[in-house]
Each structure stands twice: as structure tokens, then as C-alpha cells.
Structure 1
Amino acid sequence: MFRKIQLPLQTLNLVVGFMVWVLISSLLPFIKEDIAIQDGQLALVTAVPVILGSILRIPLGFYANQFGARKIFLISFILLLFPVYYISIADSLADLLIGGLFLGIGGAVFSVGVTSLPKYYPKERHGFINGIYGAGNLGTAISAFAAPVVATKFGWSTTVQLYLVILAVFIAGNFLLGDKRELRVKTPLLEQIKGVYKNEKLWLLSLFYFITFGSFVAFTIYLPNFLVANFGLDKVDAGIRTAGFIVLATLMRPIGGWLADRFHSLILLMFVFGVYTISAMILSFAPSISWYTFGCLSIALCAGMGNGVIFKLVPMYFQKQAGIVNGIVSAMGGLGGFFPPLILSLLFNITGHYAIGFMALSEVALASLILVVWMYFQGKMELAKEVIDHTIEGILITDTSGKIISVNPAFTSITGYQENEVIGKNPSILKSGKQPQTFYKDLWKSIEKNGFWQGEILNSRKDGQQYLQWLTISAIKNNAGDVVQYAGMFSDISSHKMKKS
């Protein structure tokens, strides 16, 4: 019973965590009517919750493996009671900064579910499951839409205190319904970090999530006040438009995970960063509200889709260290939401517009697109290398002059020659001397005419022992049809011949 309800329970936990996380940004137009906040300080107030919400994701992802999601969610929600109450009675900028910092715990709980939930499902469903859980981002939309509506009637302080009731309900829910028997992973933290920090895929995935989730968070906390100040919208209208951005990004997250379960994840990311590049360029030209809406919604679509795809890739590349990697990648995504509002605010104060900031987003997205293409082709090369290294047939590759440029482990196993002993040499070192010269002339005529030769040949091992090979030599051509390399694949068939005789 408890196993079946973990997905809906943990997804709702994330909804609540994110509702609390963006509490200040959702109510900022109301709060600044009572608390004096200068324009240059607005971005800082909204960005501060992101700090702890990012940094804490690493230990929470690790401890979710150590102690289970039930305990981590319980402790997190209990701790959130204090900053939420503190903000409800805030009367200064310092109060908002202090309380906002600890609201970050609400954003940090993201790494708990992405670490816990895959334990309950087969690998082929991890993308969709993490996408469903990630739809808990909807909590930001709920706050962006509902908090201003409630604050209009009851005031922002009372609205904040209502969140205490919601947290209390979920503390009780996790205590009663959380899985006490969740599978624990006890790998030490330092051991996990040592196993991943040199892997370039960790940092590439972190960069990609820095952009996709970072832009989601940045736009969520930046839009309400920006739409009011820049386009003169009223506060409720700005909240509804922000909620629309969040809902679209949230709905695309499980769709992105579902697509990643069925199609190549890196091809999907190529689409994501391609659209990002174009959309950010549109925003950089300071367009009208209609074009601004188009650009923002395009980014929302790609942000949600990219978020779902990336957490399909994490367990593919990292199985034993999924907890710590989920924490690091999600932390980088959180930090991606911290810096853009501050940078945009700084650039606006210097230049009077946001064009440079959005153009920077476009350039970073373009760089990410290039890196994804590189990962895609590198993955193909790694797959080919895995096949070559683990096949039982010996393989040697020569250049057009006949010098050996590569061999596989099976080559060494069959011939006795190590790689460093044959690189740069001619395959004639394997000759037994039993075939006449005409045999080799006919062999090369077949390769020139047909592109390959296949047959039996008697060759020698390093120790001089002769053995019978079944050999295939193929000419490898480029797109222009020119031969660039030759590949030989062979197996030892001596024992088969002996059995037949």
C-alpha cells in the first residue's frame, strides 16, 4: 500500500515545497507597499530563497538515500514552519532576507523525490516518473496565482500564515503515509563524490539543468514584478500570466520525461536549446507584450521539456551515485535561478533595458546546443568502441598505406601481440608464409572490385604457432567514395576444422 502512494504523496510534497519557496516573489507587489524596498533590492529579495534551495539539494539528495524520503520531507516541512511565520510578521528588508533565505528549504526538497521514486519503478519508466514528480513545480504557479488573490482580500501577512496550515497538514500526511521501509543506499558521501566529480557528463548535465530549471525559477520570480513595472499590468493580472508560464513549463515536464523514455534524449535536448536560442533573441529586442508573451511561453515549453529529459539522463549515466548526482545537478539548476534576476537587474540599472541579459541567455543556449551535439556523436563513438572492445573477433584497422592504427583486445587474445607492438607496423607480421604471393594479389583485387574480401587464411601468432583464421577485410570509404582505411575482422577456426576432420 505505502509503495503505491509514494508517487502522488511525494509529488504533492514538492508542490507544497515550491509553494513556500516562491512565497515572497508571489506577494512582493503587496509586501513592498508596507516595507520600503528600493528598486535595486527587489531582485535580491526574490533571489535569496534560491541560495539555500540550491545548496541544500546536494545533502538532501544524499540523505534521501541514507534515511528515506519520509524522514527528509518530515524534517524539511517542520523546519519551514519557522521562516514562514517569521516572514508573516516581517516589517523590514532584513526580516525578508533572513526569512527568505530559509524558505530555500522548500526548493531543496526537489532532490528527495528524484532520488527516492526511481527505486519503485523499472528503468524504462524513470523518465516519465521523474517527470510526474517534477510536475510538482506547479506549486510555484499555485502561489503565483492564488497568493495575490488571497492577499487582495485578507492582506499579505494573513496569506503567509495560511501556509503554516498547509505545512502542518503535510507534516501529518508524511508521518502517516510515508514509506518507512524504503530501500536505503549507504554508500559514503565522499566515496560517491570521488566517483563522479571527474566525469564530464555530470558537469554537462549540470550546465543544461542550470539553464532549463534556472530559467524556470528565474522567470517565475522575475515576471510578477517585471510585468507590473514594465508593462503596467495590475498585480493580479501579472500573477495570472506568471501562473500561465509556470503551468506550461510544469505540464511539459512529464511530457519531456515520457518522450525521453521513447526517443533519444540528446536529440530532444537539441530541439530544446535550439528553441531557447531563438526565443531569448526575441526577448532581447524588447518586444511588445504579445511578442514578449510568445518568447516567454516558448521558453516555458522548452524549460519544462528539458527538465524532464535531463532527469532521464542522470540514472542512465550514474546508477550507483544517483543520489549525489541528482543533488548536484538540481543544485546547479537552483543556482541558475539565483543569478539571472540579479544580473538582469544590474544590467537594467546600467543600460536601461534587459536586452543584453536575454542575448546572453541566447548565447549560452547556443553553446549548450553545440555541447549536446558533441555528446550525441561522442555517445555514438563510445558505443562503437564498446562493441569493438567486447566482441570476440579480433579487429585491426590500417590506414591506406597499410600501417596498423588500431586493434582491439580480442586481437591481442588471438595473436599474442600487444597493441603497442603492432601500431605503425604492417599486418604482414602475422603472415605464416604458407600462402603464395598470388593469393594476396587475388585478395586485393577482390577488395578493389567489391570493397571486401572474405575467406580462410593461415597466419602466425607471436610465439610462431600457426593457426587458421576466418578473415574479412573491408575497405572503409568516406562520403566522397574514397578509401580512407581498411578494417580486418578475424576469428580462430582451427579447433572447428580439427573437429570436422
Structure 2
Amino acid sequence: MTRKLQLPLQTMNLVVGFMVWVIISSLLPFIQEDVAIAPERVALVTAVPVILGSILRIPLGYFANVYGARIVFIISFILLMFPVFYISEASTFADLLIGGLFLGVGGAIFSVGVTSLPKYYPKEKHGLVNGVYGAGNIGTAVTTFAAPVIATSIGWQATIKVYLVLLLAFAVLNIFIGDRNEKKVKQPIMQQIQAVYKNEKLWIFSLFYFITFGSFVAFTVYLPNSLVTNFGLEEVDAGLRTAGFIVVATLMRPAGGAVADKFSPLKMLVGVFVVYTAAAILLAFSPSLALYTVGAIAIAVSAGVGNGVIFKLVPTYFHSQAGIANGIISMMGGLGGFFPPLILTAVFAITGHYAIGFMLLSQVSLASLILIMWLMYQDSLNNQISIFHSSGQGMMVTDTKGKIVEVNPSFEKLTGYSREEALGNTPALLKSGKQPKNFYDRMWESIRRTGHWQGEIWNRRKSGELYVEWLTINPVTDETGNVIKYVATFSDITEEKKEGEA
């Protein structure tokens, strides 16, 4: 029973963590009435919680493997109570920076669930499970919408203190129903980092998550103040619209993960970054509020789907080091939420509009699209290589001059010749002498005329033993139709031949 409760429990833990994470950005219009914040520092105070929320994702993902999610969630919620209380009493810009930095723990707990929950489910459900858990980022929508409404009635200081009760309640809840018997993985953290950091896919997935989750966080902290400043909306209206953005992105996350369980995740990411590129270009032209809404919703959809898809890919490519890989990739996503608001603010201060910042997003999205195409090509190539090396049939590749350029392990097993002995030689290495010369002339004439040849042929192993094989030869052509290689596949049919003759 306890195991079945982990997905809803950890998802709600994430909801609470993300609710706390965005307290400052959600209540900033109210806080500014009592705390003096220079316009050029607004982006900094909203972005600071993202710093620790990003960096801590690596150790928290690791600790979730070592000690289990229950312990990490309990400690995290207790620790969060200190900065929450401190911010509720803040009277200076420095107070907000200090308290906001430690609010990052609320965002860092994301890596706990994506490390823990896949242990409870089969591989084919990891996309859906991580998508459902990731939907816990709706906590940002809850705070973005509810906090301004509550603050209107009781003030922003009292509103923040309400979160103390929530944190204490969930710390207690995890004490009683968190899984005490979760499977632990105690490989040293540096050993895990060394096992993954040279893998280029780790950094490519990090870039993708930097964009998808980073833009989600960036729009969450950027939209409330932007809608008030640039379109003259009321604080509550701006909070409601931002909450709408968050809800759309959140609902699309489990949908993206579920679909990625059924279809190619990389092909789905192609669609994600096509939408990103187009939406960012639209936003770059400073559209009306209606078109701005269309662009923002397109970003929300693609961010949500992309977030779900990426954490389907992580356990697929990093099974043994999922905790540390999740931590690194989710850290990069968090940092993706730190830098864009600062860049947008700097661009606006220099140019008076956000066009260059959004065009930068479109170009990074386009670059990501190219990287996905490269990954798909690499996967296709790796699949072909895997088939080549794991095939039970002997396989031999020659150039157009007849020199052997590659063989597979089955070739070595069937012929007795090692790869090193075969490379650079010709197939005459295996010649038995039992076929007349015109046999080979007819073979090559058939290949030139029909594009292939297959049939029985006698060959000789390295040991000198004669054997009969069923041989198929196919030419490989380039895009202009010119033959560049020949591929021969064969199997030993000596025993079948004997049985047939008997």
C-alpha cells in the first residue's frame, strides 16, 4: 500500500515545493509597496530563488538514491520554513535576496521524485510516471493565482506565513506515509559523475531542458510583472493569466510523457522545437495582447510536452546513473529559468523592447532542432551497428575494389579468421577452389544486372575445413546511384546440406 502512495505523495510534495519557490515573484507587486526595489533589480530578486533551486538538484538527486525520497523531502520541508519566515519579515532588498536564495530548496526537490519514482514502475511507464510527477509544478500556478488574492485580504506578510503551516503539514505527512523501504543506491557521487559527464547526450538533454523547463520558469517569474508593466493589467488579472500559462504547461507535461511511452521521443522533440522557434519569433515582434497570449500559450504547450519527453529519455540512456543524470539535467533547466529574465531585462534596458531576447530564444530552439536531427541519425546508425554486430549471420563489407573493410563477430566465429586477419584482404581468403571461374563471373553479372546475388557456395575456414554457406551479396549505393560498398551475409548450411542428401 505504501508503494502505491508514493506517486501521489511525491507529486503533492512537488506541488508544495514549487508553491514556496515562487512566493517572491508572485507577491512582488505587493512587496514593492513596502520594500524599495530599484527597477533594474526586479529581475534579480525574482531570479535569485532559481540559483539554489538549480544547483541543489544534483546533490538532492544523489541523496534520494542514497537515503530515499522520504528523508530528503522531510529535511527539505523543515529547512524551507526558515527562509519563508525570514521573507515574511523582510524590510529590505537584501532580506529578499537572502531569503529568496534559500527558497531554492523548494525548486531543487524536483530531482528527488524523478530519481525515486521510476524504481516503482516498469520502464515502459517511466514517461507517464515522470510526467505525472512533473505536473507538480502546477504549484507555481497555485501560488501565482492564490497568493495575490489572499494578500489583497490579509497582506503579503501574513500570506507568506500561511506557507509555514503547509510545510510543517507535509513534513509530518512524509514521516508517516513516505516509503521507509525504498531501494537505495549507494554508489559514490563522484563515481556517478565520472560515469556520465563525458556522454554528449547528457549535455544535449541538458540544453533541451534548459530551454523547455527554463522557459517555463522564466515565463512564470517574468509574466506577472511584465503584464502589469507592458499591458497595464491589474495584479490579480496578471496573476490569473500567468496561472493559465502554468496550468497549460503543467497539463501538457504528463501528456507528453505518456505519448513518449508510445512513440519516438526524439520525433516528438522535433515538433516541440519547431513550435518554440515560431512562437519566439512571434513574441519578438512585440505583438498585441491577443497575439502575445497566442505566443505565450504556444510556449506553454511546447514547454510542457518537452519537459515530459525529456524525462522519458533520461532513464532510457542513463539507467544506472539516473539520479545524478536527473540532477544535472534538471539543474540546467533551473538555470534556464535564472538567465532569461536577466537577459530580457538587460535587452529591454538597452533597446526599449524584448525583441532581441525572444529572437535569441528562437535561434537556440532552431539549434536544438538541428541537434535532435543529429541524435536521430546517430541512433539510426547505432541501431544498424548493433544489428551488424549482434546478427547470428556472418557479415562482411568490402569496398568497390574487393578489399574487406569490416566483418562482424559471427564472421569470425564461422570462418575462424579474426577481424584483424580479414581486414585488407579480399573474399578470396575464404576461397575453396571448388567453384569454377565462370561461377564468379556469373555471380557478378547477376549483381550488375539485378542488384543482388544469392545462392550456395563452398568456402574454406582458416582451419582448412570446407563448408557450404548460403550467401547473399548486395551493393550499397550513394545518393547518385554509384556503388560504394558491397555487403555479404552468409550462414553455414553444411549440416542441412548433409541431411538433404541423406
What TM-score comes out, normalization by structure 1 length?
Answer: 0.97
Instruction: Write the letter of the residue equivalent to 1:132.
Output: V
- Report the Cα offset of residue 454 of structure 1: 1.4
For the aligned residue pairs, the C-alpha RMSD in angstroms reads: 1.4
Q: 1:421 corresponds to which residue?
A: 421
- Report the Cα offset of residue 481 of structure 1: 4.4
- Report the Cα offset of residue 495 of structure 1: 4.0
Q: 1:10 corresponds to which residue?
A: 10
Q: 1:450 corresponds to which residue?
A: 450
Q: Which moved more, 1:213-222 or 1:184-193?
A: 184-193
Instruction: Spell out the pairing of 1:453-472 with structure 2 (5 A cutoff).
Output: 453-472=453-472
Instruction: Write the letter of the residue equivalent to 1:31.
Output: I
Q: Identity percentage over the alignment? A: 63
Determine whether 1:313 maps to 2:304.
no
Determine whether 1:150 maps to 2:162.
no
Q: 2:409 corresponds to which residue?
A: 409
Q: What CA distance in whole angstroms lies between the structure 2 residues aligned with 1:262 and 1:350?
A: 47
Determine whether 1:196 maps to 2:196.
yes
Equivalenced residue count is 501
Q: 1:373 corresponds to which residue?
A: 373
Q: Which moved more, 1:481-490 or 1:158-167?
A: 481-490
Q: 2:324 corresponds to which residue?
A: 324
- Report the Cα offset of residue 350 of structure 1: 1.5
Q: 1:278 corresponds to which residue?
A: 278
Q: 1:248 corresponds to which residue?
A: 248
Q: What CA distance in whole angstroms lies between the structure 2 residues aligned with 1:400 and 1:32?
A: 75
Q: What CA distance in whole angstroms lies between the structure 1 residues aligned with 2:468 and 2:482?
A: 31
Instruction: Write the letter of the residue equivalent to 1:269.
Output: L
- Report the Cα offset of residue 448 of structure 1: 2.2
Instruction: Write the letter of the residue equivalent to 2:188.
Output: P
- Report the Cα offset of residue 347 of structure 1: 1.4
Instruction: Write the letter of the residue equivalent to 2:227.
Output: L
Q: What CA distance in whole angstroms lies between the structure 2 residues aligned with 1:348 and 1:442?
A: 75
Q: What CA distance in whole angstroms lies between the structure 1 residues aligned with 2:169 and 2:108?
A: 19
Instruction: Write the letter of the residue equivalent to 1:126.
Output: H
Instruction: Spell out the pairing of 1:214-293 with structure 2 (5 A cutoff).
Output: 214-293=214-293
Instruction: Write the letter of the residue equivalent to 2:434.
Output: K
Counterpart of 2:33 in 1: which secondary structure?
Answer: helix
- Report the Cα offset of residue 97 of structure 1: 0.3
Question: 1:268-316 CA deviation, whole Å, 9 max, x = no partner?
Answer: 0000001101111111111111111111110000000000000000011
Q: What CA distance in whole angstroms lies between the structure 1 residues aligned with 2:172 and 2:422?
A: 69
Instruction: Spell out the pairing of 1:66-215 with structure 2 (5 A cutoff).
Output: 66-215=66-215
- Report the Cα offset of residue 145 of structure 1: 0.4
Q: What CA distance in whole angstroms lies between the structure 2 residues aligned with 1:404 and 1:302?
A: 48
- Report the Cα offset of residue 477 of structure 1: 3.5
Determine whether 1:382 maps to 2:344.
no
Q: What CA distance in whole angstroms lies between the structure 2 residues aligned with 1:294 and 1:403?
A: 60
Q: 2:30 corresponds to which residue?
A: 30
- Report the Cα offset of residue 358 of structure 1: 0.6
Q: 1:335 corresponds to which residue?
A: 335
- Report the Cα offset of residue 494 of structure 1: 3.0
Q: What CA distance in whole angstroms lies between the structure 2 residues aligned with 1:414 and 1:360?
A: 56
Question: 1:176-210 CA deviation, whole Å, 9 max, x = no partner?
Answer: 11111111112221221121111111111111001
Question: 1:361-384 CA deviation, whole Å, 9 max, x = no partner?
Answer: 100000000001110111011011
Question: 1:417-462 CA deviation, whole Å, 9 max, x = no partner?
Answer: 3334333432222212221101101111222232221122122233
Q: What CA distance in whole angstroms lies between the structure 1 residues aligned with 2:355 and 2:337?
A: 18
Q: What CA distance in whole angstroms lies between the structure 1 residues aligned with 2:287 and 2:406?
A: 56
Query: Any unmatched runs of 5+ in structure 1?
Result: none
Q: What CA distance in whole angstroms lies between the structure 2 residues aligned with 1:415 and 1:204?
A: 42
Q: What CA distance in whole angstroms lies between the structure 1 residues aligned with 2:226 and 2:178?
A: 40
Q: 2:53 corresponds to which residue?
A: 53
Determine whether 1:42 maps to 2:45.
no
Q: What CA distance in whole angstroms lies between the structure 2 residues aligned with 1:421 and 1:85?
A: 73
Counterpart of 1:34 in 2: which secondary structure?
Answer: coil
